Structure formats: C-alpha cells, structure tokens
Structure 1
Amino acid sequence: MPSKPALRVSVVSLGCPKALVDTEKMLALLAQAGCLVAAPADDADVVLINTCAFIAPAREESLAAIRRAVALKRRGKVRRVVVAGCLPQRLGPALLADRPGVDALVGVFDRPAIVAAVTARESPFVRVSRRPRGCEDDRGRFRLTPRHTAYLRLAEGCSAGCSFCTVPAIRGPLRSKPIHRVLEEAAELAADGAVELNLIAQDTTAYGADLPARPGLAELLRRLDEIEPVRWIRLMYAHPAGMSEEIVAAMADCRRVVKYLDLPLQHVSDGMLRAMRRGYDRRRVEALLAMLRRRMPGIALRTTFIVGFPGEGAAEFRELLAFVAGQAFDAVGVFTYWPEEGTAAGRMAGQVPARTRRRRRDRLMRAQQEIAFAANARRVGSQLEVLVDGLDGEGRCVGRHAGQGPDVDSLCILTAAAPAGEIVKAKVVGWDGYDLIVERIADCGLPIAN
C-alpha cells in the first residue's frame, strides 16, 4: 500500500526575532513529524502563520496575513490555516469568530502542540494556555536565517512592567534559560555554521535574575566568548536600567563581543520616563552613554524612541529632538505611541492626537537621517570588516560591518560578489542613503571586536 504523501506546510513568520525563533522551533517539530516545511503558499496543504500582536499595526499585519491565507483556502489552494503566536494568545478563541476559515489556534505557551494543530482533521483546534511554561529548549531549530547568522534567545517573557507594554500580558514574566543550556545552544548554532550570534530576549540585561544561582549577563558574555568557532556576538534588547558596570566591562573585555549595543531608551524627558515606568532618568541615560563610549571608543549605539506618549507636550518633544541631535546615535528607530487595551498608559490622561504623533515621528526621523547621512559621508575612505550576507532582492551583494545588526540596521553594499558567511576587509568608497558602498580589500581572520 503506498505511503500517505507528506503534508506540505507554508510558513509566514511575523514580528520580532523572538517570534522568529518560535517559528524555527515549530518548523523543526513539524519536520521531525514528517512534514515538508517552507513550501510556497500556493503549493502547500497547510499555511502556518506565526503572528505578532504587540501594537495595533502589528495586529493589522497579522490579520492581513490571515485574510490572504483564508482566501487561498476558499479557492481550494490550501486545506488548512493554522494561526500561532501572540495574536491567538492575546485574543483567544474570539479570533475564530472574527476570522472564519481559521482551523487552529496555538498560543505562545503551547508550541509543542503545533504538530497536532497542523495534522488534525477537526476544526477548530485550540491550544491557548494561560499559564507560562519555563523558558523552553530552542535546540534543533529549522533555521530561516542564513546559516552564518543566528538569534540566540536567552530568556522569555518580561517583568519590567513598562506602562505601555503588552508583552508581560502576552508572554508572561521573565523566565531565563539555565546558563548551561544557553551555552549548548550557542555551540549547536556554531556547529551549524553560525559565525554571528545575536543575543535576544525581551530584556537581555535581566538574564539570570530569576535563576537560583543568579548568573548575570556579564558572566554569560564571558562564557560565550570562549566558544571558538563564533566570530561575532551581538547584544540586543538591552534595557538601560539593567546595563551595569559589570556588563559594560564584559563587553569591553570579550574579544568576540562586537562593540555594538541595541539600547531602547524610549524617551529622555524625566516626566515621560516616569510615566513610562522605565526605572531611570535622563541623568542615568547620559552617564551610561558616556561610560559606554569611554570603555569602548567607537561603539555603535542603536536606540528606539516612542513619540506621542500620553502627556508628551511640545517641550518634551523638543527636549527629545535636542538630545538626539547631541548624542548622534548610529541608528534610531522611532515609533508612534499606540494606546493598548490593558496597559496603564492606555488609561492615562493627556492622550496625544494621532496626527501629532505621526508628525513628531516624521520630524525625529528627518533629524536622525541628517545625522546618519553625515556620518556615512565621513566614513568614505575608511576601512572596516564586513560580514557578507549574500545577494539581496535586487541582486546586490550585501553585508554588514560590526556596527550594523541584522534586519533592523543599514547595510554595506559590496562592489563585487563575495561568498556569504565570509568576513572580508573592505574600504568605504561611497554611500547611498543609509547604506555604505564598500570595496573588498582582503579576507579576514578572527575579526577584531575591540
């Protein structure tokens, strides 16, 4: 009797790198169960959508992806639509009534149920637990990133309690991985070809605070620095309140930790920071930035800001503009505030009109653009090390220097092709908007991170 053909699963992964790791783990479970994963949507039996629900635009993007998948199902192109991740976790079974045609929901705490959700015959299939598990094992992932770069998740959930944030309600409190498991996952990723490890969590600086021995991020960085095949280690999602002198010292000392930091400041006005419940003030921010630049000259600093938070007036916004102009960050992301149900900020007085929020976002981005373009012009003629990512959608060979994180930052455009995963020495010969144009000079050995 002929064997039953394997289910073909198409995947849509939305949201942050933490969600991408969830997707990679779910795909690994499906592959182990005999499914053919990563098929095109129009040549699949099942469409799996891993969603984001952090703010309204993310929910709209997720709902649009669901609409497209359901339309394929109605045309007979696919048999089943499975929705996973933050949106079903936040909305629960109500999502089924809102989006007829969805066959299964899997929440963020029910990742192991994905095989049953995909292969089940019944509809609806719902697995949305409200009780968080511990931080799960991310080994054995079906990686969607290029082989030479990978995200290494240190923890899940968050206990910071920012007034605007829905993450604790969706993903639960902080749950750190034991340090030995993080090291095992790092070694596995390196053995699988990753030369760049990007450390992620909702708050990487809180790593270990909930573990019995309380190993901190500084200790973890020093242990990761011993993994020989790894070339670059990049720290992302670092909460300013948790950036201690010990963490900064570890970054400065570790050879493989690139001098780059993703440090979401969110604002600089003391009044706004108090309302956001960020746990620091402007003086603390300025002292931290000075310490980082003193200990690691030339460090690339990336940050994000929220504009239009309740109570932000013209004076607070002018203060933020002046601060950004004075600090000259290497990269800045700007988000308009969205009042989210269930958050303290959503109930605050002084909500800023949407039009004002958008106007402030655009003005701050224009200010940062001038800073970034001027910095690129000054780089022409300099030399740097570039990790080659490969060809982009336009057929250009692109890569990143140590001060450019994956997916969120600008790129280096190489004038000639080079193998993906190699680190090459290059000379900056021009720039195009936020991106640098570089010419390969030579191959590199172990990159100089300090």
Structure 2
Amino acid sequence: MSKKTIDFITLGCSKNLVDSEKLMGLFEANGYHVTHDSNDPHGEIVVINTCGFIEDAKQESIDTILEFAQAKTEGRIEKLYVMGCLSERYLADLEQEIPEVDGWYGKFNYKELLNTIVTIDTINTTAPRHLTTPRHYAYIKISEGCDRHCAYCAIPIITGKHQSRPIEEILEEVRSLVAQGTKEFQIIAQELTYYGIDIDGKQHIAELIERMADIEGVEWIRLHYAYPAHFPWDLLRVMREKKNVCKYLDIALQHISDHMLTRMVRHVTKEETYELVRKIREEVPGIHLRTTLMVGFPGETDEDFQELLDFTRWARFERMGAFAYSEEDGTYSAKHYKDDVPADVKQARLDRLMRIQQHISAEIEGAKVGKVIRVIIDRTEGDWFIGRSEFCSPEVDPEVLIPMKENLTIGEFYDVKVTSAEEFDLYATTQYE
C-alpha cells in the first residue's frame, strides 16, 4: 500500500471535475501523491466526489461509495471520504446508512478535507489545479449555483444562489494555465449567461469572454450551459468577431410547447425560442448549437410532443441530447405535479426523438466530407489519432479520426481534409493538396 497517496474518484459533471482538480492540487502542494479515477485505487485514502443531480447519477454515486466502503472493510484502503453534491443534499441520511465513511463533505466545504487529512503544522492553502484532462485543454468554472429554479431541477436546492467569480480571478486562472501549456478552454457554469448579475445587476459574460479571447496563447474558447431567457445578445458579437471563440454554444432548451415551457417554469415562450435560434444562426454564421431536450414531463400531451418533434426538425441542432423526466426530491414539479406520463410512453417518445436527431446529425456530418477543418489532437486510440474541431467539446461530441501513420503530435493543431463520415464521427487526413 502506497503511503501518502490519495485516489480521487470524480462522478458527475465537469463542474465537479474542477473541484476535484483544485483539491488535488492542494494535496500535492502539501506533500501527497494523487491519482484520479484510477482503475486500481491503491492509496491509503480514497476521496469520492459525488453527483446528486438525477436518479441515475445518485445511484452511481451510492454504488461507488458502497464499493469503496467494502474495500475499507476488507483492509484494501485505510480511509474513505465523500464530498460533492450527493453529500451536500443527503448528509444526515448518508451518515447513518454508510458508517464506514470517515468523513462527509458537501459542495462548498470540501477544502476542510485538508485540515482533516494533512498532518503538517503549516498547511499550504494556495496551489495550482492538478489537471486531469490532457494538458492542452481545461475547464474553467465561472460561477456556482443557479437562480433560475426550473420546476424539474434540483441544482438550486443543492448549490444555492448564483455566485459569480470575480472576473480578474478567472482571467488570472486562464493566464496561469496558458503558461502551463493549455490552449483550449471550456467555459462552464450552471448558467453562464447570468454571469455578473449578482455583482452589479448586469450580464458580464460578453465582457469576460472578450477579455479572455485577448489573452495571448488562448487558441479556443468554448461556451457551455447558456439559458434561453434574457439572452445577452452582445455575446454573439464577441463570438463572431473573435476568431478564437469557437462557433459553438451549448444552450439547454428542454422543450418548445408553451404548455410545457410554462409548467417547467422556463420564463421563455415558443415564439421567443424560435426567434432565439434564428438570431443566433444569423449573427454567428456556421455556428454549431448543442441543446438538451426533455420528454415525459408531467402533463406532456401527444400534441406537446409533436411540437417538440417539429421544432427539432426545423432547428436541425448539430448536437442534441435528450432524456426522459424523472422526479427529483424537493423540486417544484415533485411538489405540485403528478408524474403522469407512463414510463413506456416516455421511452417511446425519447426513442423517436433521438431517431430524428440521428438522421439530422448524419446529414450534417456527411456534408463536411471534402471540407478542410482545423482540429486539435487529444489522444491515440488503436490505429487512429483522435482529434476534435472547434465544433466539438471533449467527451460529448463527435470526434475526428486520422490514421496513425500520419505521425501527428497530441495537443497540436492541424488542418485536415474530411474523407468520410459516420453518424457521429468524421475520418480525415492531413495529406491533401
């Protein structure tokens, strides 16, 4: 057993990953060796960063905790700590149900783990993040919490009100990462268009991205998790004018029928949503939109679902994910609505929606054959280099496969010509005229 080794296990979203990276950096600065998502955790200490957002994520977190509780019982690890959203939300129940855990920490007090574990007299409380991603890209979390209170969402219950990070603090983090070799930045928040409102009542996301784009060495900036209501239109100007701001926007729309949008407490209408998509595409030609849609929300009728299908065909989202509604403790919908859409109907609607999207995606990716695109190389896999274009976020979007014989370098940019396309992935070559 390796002493002074801490194995971190991160579950859930990229916002959790940033928290893990910050804590890993602090432990390294205090003399510990850290590993992340190891296939064979063998340190004396395991820290599990949990997700508590939806039922499947909660179950994964609980199963993982139980797995390592058993490892502790068998003597394969000495200490087990849990942090993150699940313990923030269900602390009292978890402490009683899983006594093998040595300490529970929430979403915001996880740095107290330092005081629990580190035994030296003077603890270093400032340290750079330990990146778990390839060095050439990193996630930048610009805020915590959310003030939107959509009917189905437990995030505000877990994380509380929106809190923007100071703009200079964010920009300094980007500069520091650039100095370490990071070229690509995924900007994340529960709701990034709200950035700055809690500071002075104004949206500052356009200013933040514009200033970030002016930092020398920043090659790509990609935006995640926008909200459709009160969209900051000046952000589109920045996306259009700044060449290193990717023509990519992740904006969860959830539904389109006014009946559903009202019941979901989304503060936007069908007409406004259509206009939003039209204006984004008009202001930023060539943009790729990623969205998330929900089926089976309480009260969803066949007519509501048909409107959603019609909207999906019209919008032709380059990237789209969808999921079936599941009731979450404490949310508005759990308190006020009956979960009245049968499970088999939810699944049938989800399958039908995704079939339409798969056809759209295949057409959009197929239209790229013969075009030259710029990609960054993430890794190798089998006989291929795996890259991404500006239209692709890590782990969730299509990838570009280039033959290993072309002798490329991970973390570098290349212009490649697309030779063929599958439903979600492209094949390309650097060897073209």
Superposition TM-score, scaled by structure 1 size: 0.90
Count, aligned residues: 421
Per the alignment, residue 148 of structure 2 pairs with 160
Instruction: Measure, in 2, the Cα distance between the counterparts of 1:140 and 1:179.
Output: 18
Instruction: Measure, in 2, the Cα distance between the counterparts of 1:299 and 1:138.
Output: 38
Per the alignment, residue 78 of structure 2 pairs with 79
Residues 106, 117 of structure 1: 8 Å contact kept: no
Residues 7, 46 of structure 2: 8 Å contact kept: yes
Q: 1:307 to 1:75 in 2, by over 3 A?
A: same
1:367 pairs, out of 341, 356, 363, with 356
Instruction: Measure, in 1, the Cα distance between the counterparts of 2:194 and 2:127.
Output: 22
Cα deviation 1:261-281 (Å, max 9, x = unaligned):
001001111111111111111
Letter in 1 for 2:156: P
Residues 26, 126 of structure 2: 8 Å contact kept: no
Superposition TM-score, scaled by structure 2 size: 0.93
Q: 1:138 to 1:14 in 2, by over 3 A?
A: farther
1:45 aligns with 2:44: yes
Residues 388, 399 of structure 1: 8 Å contact kept: yes
Q: Secondary structure at the match of 1:438?
A: strand
Q: 1:396 to 1:64 in 2, by over 3 A?
A: farther
Instruction: Measure, in 1, the Cα distance between the counterparts of 2:19 and 2:30.
Output: 17
5 Å-filtered alignment, 1:405-416, equals 405-416=393-404
Of 366-375 and 30-39, deviating more is 30-39
Residues 138, 185 of structure 1: 8 Å contact kept: no
Residues 417, 428 of structure 2: 8 Å contact kept: yes
Per the alignment, residue 11 of structure 2 pairs with 14
Letter in 2 for 1:387: I
Letter in 2 for 1:396: W
Cα deviation 1:194-242 (Å, max 9, x = unaligned):
1111111100000000113746111111111110101001111011114
Q: Secondary structure at the match of 2:225?
A: coil
Letter in 1 for 2:109: D
Per the alignment, residue 419 of structure 2 pairs with 429
Letter in 2 for 1:38: T
1:345 pairs, out of 333, 337, 340, with 333
Q: Secondary structure at the match of 2:430?
A: strand
Cα deviation 1:318-377 (Å, max 9, x = unaligned):
111111112111010101111111001113135312222122112111110111112222
Residues 260, 300 of structure 1: 8 Å contact kept: yes
Q: Secondary structure at the match of 1:111?
A: coil
5 Å-filtered alignment, 1:179-218, equals 179-212=167-200, 214=202, 216-218=204-206
Per the alignment, residue 122 of structure 2 pairs with none
Per the alignment, residue 34 of structure 1 pairs with 31
Instruction: Measure, in 1, the Cα distance between the counterparts of 2:22 and 2:113.
Output: 10
Letter in 2 for 1:424: Y
Residues 327, 339 of structure 2: 8 Å contact kept: no
Instruction: Compute the displacement of 1:25 (Å).
Output: 0.8
1:241 pairs, out of 220, 229, 234, with 229
Per the alignment, residue 139 of structure 2 pairs with 151
Letter in 2 for 1:426: V
Query: Gaps spanning 5+ residues in structure 1: where?
Result: 121-136, 443-450
Residues 87, 104 of structure 2: 8 Å contact kept: yes
Letter in 1 for 2:259: G
Residues 417, 429 of structure 2: 8 Å contact kept: yes
Residues 425, 441 of structure 1: 8 Å contact kept: no
Instruction: Compute the displacement of 1:42 (Å).
Output: 3.8
| Identity across the alignment (%) | 36
Instruction: Compute the displacement of 1:185 (Å).
Output: 0.9
Residues 46, 118 of structure 1: 8 Å contact kept: no
Residues 145, 163 of structure 2: 8 Å contact kept: yes
Per the alignment, residue 54 of structure 2 pairs with 55
1:380 pairs, out of 348, 361, 369, with 369
Instruction: Compute the displacement of 1:302 (Å).
Output: 0.5
Per the alignment, residue 429 of structure 2 pairs with 439
